[in-house]
Chains A and B, each alone.
Chain A
Amino acid sequence: MARYDRAITVFSPDGHLFQVEYALEAVRKGNAAVGVRGTDTIVLGVEKKSTVKLQDSRSVRKIVNLDDHIALACAGLKADARVLINKARIECQSHRLTVEDPVTVEYITRYIAGLQQKYTQSGGVRPFGLSTLIVGFDPYTGIPALYQTDPSGTFSAWKANATGRNSNSMREFLEKNYKETSGQETIKLAIRALLEVVESGGKNIEVAVMTKEGLRQLEEAEIDAVVAEIEAEKAAAEAAKKGPAKET
């Protein structure tokens, strides 16, 4: 039994934690996920693989509620996600029980990040192979927040971020196109970012919107409508570019 106490995550000679970096690789292979913070809305979007025809998609919810005012999306090992989400849900209720107040987004992010870190410094365990995007409204100030955690256990707040497959392209797009938005504009921005890397169509993306009233999963029809709007705008922009050139 003593053999299993040896840490799996040990330092390399040049100061790297390879297990953590390999976990980040696992995240990079996971499905794309994006989060955008608006003034009164926060949007989470996740790529959905469309190859599974016989699967009942309702049983695979990729954007979940941690509490009435907090939601989470992740990229990476989904089984690891289940464990973290379960622990986080318990912590949300436990916090309410001991201090009679709901958790702040920062608190629960710090908790999840702390859990992820613990597994990089324990014997016989491997790190969690997922990065999370945590969104919510502060229950006291009503200020929206978006946080990201990763397998190393670091976390930070973002205006908009992406993780998972092709996250670099999505993040570049967001850096170029981000501006303070609200309501429907925030939803459009999130879906535009996802469409950079995902095939077009409502059945390939799952989108959820967090407002002060709570989390709302968008129907496929709603997503299709926004996608159509975005495609129309893109087509119009293309036409405008080509237009002046023809006149000469």
Chain B
Amino acid sequence: MECVFGMVGKGFALVVADTSAVNSILVHKSNEDKIMVLDSHKLMGASGEAGDRAQFTEYVQKNVSLYQFRNGIPLTTKAAANFMRGELATALRKNPYMVNIVLAGYDKETGPSLYFIDYIATLHKVDKAAFGYGSYFSLAMMDRHYRPDMTVDEAIHLADQCIEEIRSRLVVAPQNFVIKIVDKDGAREHSWRRTTKD
């Protein structure tokens, strides 16, 4: 019942993810951070098999760092997205990674961007994206209320509406959510939405 969604606003991009780590009917923990900070200006929200998620996201992050040391400049968001898609595609017919990713980034030249990358290596550049059962509700809410060039407050309000919808309509809704934002000042955690303390 993992929920990850994101959207692009005016000069920033937002990624929201639930923070539950679940095995069958047991909740291991409800403060698992699934949005990895790839580098100073990139966020990667990942959902799916926990082991694959950790393995793949850490691998991508280290390769992004390596690129930066080798070339003296960071990867663009588009390049990082395509690198990820390539890795997923290569592994797909042998040993697929069961991870779905929402990649948000800010580049000085092109501004904020959001990429939808699913486990069978689909890559789409989008304004809003969502994965999991929660996507039925968050995508519908975003389709109804999303406008291009929203302010941070408006986007957070929309994210809250999505979380509210997920909480009320999804049969086993996650307890807590984390919101992370990336803009010209970098990628950072914005806030949490908790119903339980961990």
Contact = CB atoms under 8 A, between A and B. Distances in A.
B27 interface: no
A96 interface: yes
A97 interface: yes
Contact of B62 (A65, A86, A97): A97
If over half of A's interface residues share one DSSP class (helix, strand or loop), that class is named, otherwise mixed; here it is helix
B126 interface: no
Nearest to A64: B69
A93 B58 CA distance: 10
A65 B69 contact: yes
A110 interface: no
A67 B58 CA distance: 16
B2 to A, nearest CB: 23
A93 B62 contact: yes
Interface in A51-67: 61, 65-67
A86 B63 CA distance: 13
Interface residues of A, number: 12
Nearest to B63: A93
A97 B59 CA distance: 7
Nearest to A92: B69
Interface residues of B, number: 9
A94 B62 contact: yes
A65 B72 CA distance: 9
A66 B68 CA distance: 10
Interface in A112-133: none
B140 to A, nearest CB: 38
Nearest to A100: B58
Interface in B63-87: 63, 65-66, 69-70, 72
B129 to A, nearest CB: 27
Interface string A71-92: 0000000000000001001101
Nearest to B59: A97
Nearest to A96: B62
Contacts of A97: 58-59, 62
B89 to A, nearest CB: 21
A57 B65 CA distance: 25
A66 B58 contact: no
A94 B72 CA distance: 19
A98 to B, nearest CB: 10
A67 B70 CA distance: 10
A67 B62 contact: no
B65 A93 contact: yes
Contacts of B72: 61
Contacts of B65: 93, 96
Contacts of B69: 65-67, 89, 92-93
Interface of B: 58-59, 62-63, 65-66, 69-70, 72
Given A65-B69, A89-B66, A89-B70, 12 more contacts: A61-B72, A66-B69, A67-B69, A86-B70, A90-B66, A93-B62, A93-B63, A93-B65, A93-B66, A93-B69, A96-B62, A97-B62
17 contacts: A65-B69, A86-B70, A89-B66, A89-B69, A90-B66, A92-B69, A93-B62, A93-B63, A93-B65, A93-B66, A93-B69, A94-B62, A96-B62, A96-B65, A97-B58, A97-B59, A97-B62
| A-B pairs with lowest CB-CB distance, top 4 | A93-B62, A97-B62, A93-B66, A89-B69
